[in-house]
Every structure is written in structure tokens, then in C-alpha cells.
């Protein structure tokens, strides 16, 4: 059996391959942990988005309640003022100022409620959606890229011929040390005769 001249290089390459496999497995596990963290982050972002929408809707309902309270106060004021009685005179504008005040208050409140429930609600929904999308993108950015193995570790070929030549060279140097003659005392024509 001949000695492999590249045995040391092959052993070093196998060691580098084992280290690279271990590092790849470690990076893969880190990425898996980041994936689970991303899943939790996404669930948390959905809850935050839902809360933002419900907070905006609750604010709109509170504004609507305040507006209706103002309409109620205007109606009470109008109907209290009706305590004056139309005594059958010729005036065609009796009580018209109080009615116009009540209708103006009602119109103003309806306009505010319309803005709160439509335009402002749309602003709040769009803002919540943008906040949610930014949080989702930030979570995906924190995930990073998955582990990549990279280029494989190349194993050098076996070099048995080099090992055989090295052995032959050693034998030749030993042979020349004995003056070129056979160690058994016979000359086979290789050295001086």
C-alpha cells in the first residue's frame, strides 16, 4: 500500500468541511429563531392595527355623542322658547328666529359628525394602515436573510503516485549510500562494476 502524499491536505479539508457544516447548522438555527420572532411580531402588529382602528372609531362615536348632546340642548332651548303663545296676530314670522337657531345648530352638528365619521375616519384608517405596514416591514427587515452554505470545501485528490515516488526516492538514496551495490553483495548493473 502506497502512502498518500495529500493525506494531510485531505484531512485539513475534511476538518474545514465539518466546521462549515456546523456553522451552517448554527446560522440556520438562528434564522429559525428569528422566524418565530417575526411570527410573534406580526401577530402583535395585527393587534396594534386593530386597536388603532377601534380607538379611532371610539373617538368618532364620542364626537358623535357630543354633537347629539348639542342638538338636544338646542331642541330644549327651542321648545322652551315656544312658551310664548301665538295669539293669532297677523305676523308670519312668529317663532321663526328660534326655529332657525335650532336648525342651524342641528346643521352644524350634522356637518361635524359627517366629517368625523367619514373624512377623519378615513384619515385615521389610512394612518393606522401605514403604521401597520411600517411595523410589518421593520419586522421583516429584522429577520434578515437565511443562512447560505456558500461554496463547497474542495477535497484534494489522492496522490498515491507522489507517495510511491517519495518512497522510491528514499530507497534510491539509501541504495546510493551503500555505493550502488546490492546489500546482499551482488551487483545488478546499476552501480559501478
Q: What is the mean pLDDT of residues 142-147?
A: 86
pLDDT, tens digit, 9 for 90 and up, residues 171-180: 777 777 666 5
Q: Is 170 or 73 the better-scoring residue by pLDDT? A: 73
Residue pair 134/52 in contact (Cβ under 8 Å)? The answer is no
Name the percent of the chain lying above pLDDT 70: 82
Give this prediction's pTM.
0.56
> Residue 36 above 60 pLDDT?
yes
CA-wise closest residue to 23 among 131, 106, 147, 130: 147
Phi and psi angles of residue 83, each rounded to the nearest 5 degrees, phi first: -60, -20
pLDDT, tens digit, 9 for 90 and up, residues 74-90: 888 888 876 666 666 66
Amino acid at each position: 500500500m502506497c502512502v498518500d502524499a495529500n493525506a494531510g491536505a485531505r484531512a485539513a479539508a475534511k476538518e474545514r468541511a465539518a466546521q462549515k457544516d456546523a456553522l451552517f447548522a448554527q446560522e440556520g438555527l438562528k434564522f429559525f429563531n428569528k422566524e418565530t420572532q417575526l411570527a410573534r411580531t406580526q401577530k402583535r402588529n395585527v393587534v396594534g392595527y386593530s386597536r388603532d382602528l377601534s380607538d379611532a372609531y371610539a373617538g368618532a362615536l364620542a364626537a358623535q355623542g357630543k354633537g347629539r348632546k348639542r342638538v338636544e340642548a338646542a331642541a330644549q332651548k327651542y321648545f322652551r322658547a315656544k312658551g310664548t303663545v301665538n295669539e293669532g296676530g297677523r305676523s308670519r314670522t312668529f317663532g321663526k328666529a328660534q326655529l332657525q337657531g335650532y336648525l342651524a345648530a342641528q346643521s352644524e352638528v350634522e356637518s361635524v359628525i359627517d366629517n368625523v365619521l367619514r373624512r377623519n375616519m378615513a384619515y385615521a384608517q389610512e394612518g393606522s394602515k401605514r403604521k401597520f405596514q411600517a411595523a410589518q416591514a421593520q419586522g421583516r427587515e429584522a429577520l434578515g436573510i437565511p443562512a447560505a452554505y456558500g461554496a463547497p470545501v474542495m477535497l484534494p485528490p489522492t496522490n498515491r503516485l507522489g507517495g510511491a515516488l517519495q518512497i522510491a526516492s528514499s530507497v534510491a538514496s539509501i541504495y546510493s549510500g551503500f555505493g550502488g551495490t546490492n546489500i546482499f553483495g551482488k551487483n545488478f548493473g546499476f552501480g559501478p562494476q
